[in-house]
């Protein structure tokens, strides 16, 4: 069941769209903001509220890698997988993160603090390699800079 606050925030987005269903991504992000992820019950509730079939909304949720369909850590690390980041040490940085936290991509640290995700491209090729942590983009990375940044999220 959607909370009153979730409904209020979804309703605030509806005037931005011609059809209720067009607000589906915003609605999913709102639910995720409140709950940390979008489980099957929440997906069904949002679909019903917007007048959509559940499978239609599942198609949207599964397309966007920033909609979490399973629990994630308090901080999500998105490591850019673009060609420029790949050429400029992305694999080395991924191995560094894996060694530091003992997790592989799509896994969460045992303490629930970090989840490592891949991002197809962060659009920062001129400052590669790049990553995002939550909503913050970090550029021109090497292992030392990466460690310094991640310490801020501990």
pLDDT digit of tens for each residue in the chain (154 aa)?
A: 999 999 999 999 999 999 999 999 999 999 999 999 999 999 999 999 999 999 999 999 999 989 999 999 999 999 999 999 999 999 999 999 999 999 999 999 999 999 999 999 999 999 999 999 999 999 999 999 999 999 999 8
Alpha-carbon span 45 to 119, nearest angstrom: 28
Q: Are residues 33 and 84 in the same domain?
A: no
Q: Are residues 100 and 139 in the same domain?
A: yes
Instruction: Specify the pLDDT at position 154.
Output: 82
Q: Which domain holds residue 20?
A: 4-63
DSSP annotation of 65: T
- Residue 90, φ and ψ in degrees, nearest 5: -55, -45
Q: Half-sphere exposure of residue 9, counting CA atoms within 13 Å on the CB side?
A: 17
Retrieve residue 67's tokens: 């909609």
Q: Is residue 104 part of a domain?
A: yes
Number of domains present in the structure of the chain: 2
Q: Are residues 23 and 84 in the same domain?
A: no
Cα Rg, the chain, nearest whole Å: 17
Q: Is residue 68 part of a domain?
A: no
Q: Is residue 43 part of a domain?
A: yes
Instruction: Specify the pLDDT at position 65.
Output: 85
Instruction: Specify the pLDDT at position 145.
Output: 97
Q: Is residue 57 part of a domain?
A: yes
**Global pTM value:** 0.85
Q: Is residue 105 part of a domain?
A: yes
Mean pLDDT of the chain: 96
Q: Is residue 12 part of a domain?
A: yes
CATH number of the domain enclosing 127: 3.40.30.10
Q: Is residue 70 part of a domain?
A: no
Q: Is residue 69 part of a domain?
A: no
pLDDT, one tens digit per residue, over 33-64 is: 999 999 999 999 999 999 999 999 999 999 99
């Amino acid at each position: 069941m959607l909370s009153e606050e979730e409904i209020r925030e979804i309703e605030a987005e509806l005037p931005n769209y011609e059809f209720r269903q067009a607000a589906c991504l915003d609605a999913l992000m709102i639910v995720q903001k409140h709950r940390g992820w979008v489980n099957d019950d929440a997906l069904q509730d949002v679909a019903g509220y917007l007048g959509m079939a559940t499978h239609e909304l599942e198609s949207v949720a599964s397309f966007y890698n920033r909609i979490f369909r399973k629990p994630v850590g308090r901080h999500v690390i998105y490591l850019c997988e673009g060609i420029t980041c790949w050429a400029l040490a992305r694999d080395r940085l991924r191995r560094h993160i894996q060694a530091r936290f003992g997790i592989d991509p799509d896994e969460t640290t045992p303490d629930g603090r970090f989840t490592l995700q891949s991002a197809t491209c962060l659009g920062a090729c001129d400052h590669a390699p790049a990553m995002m942590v939550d909503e913050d983009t970090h550029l021109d990375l090497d292992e030392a800079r990466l460690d310094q940044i991640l310490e801020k999220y501990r």
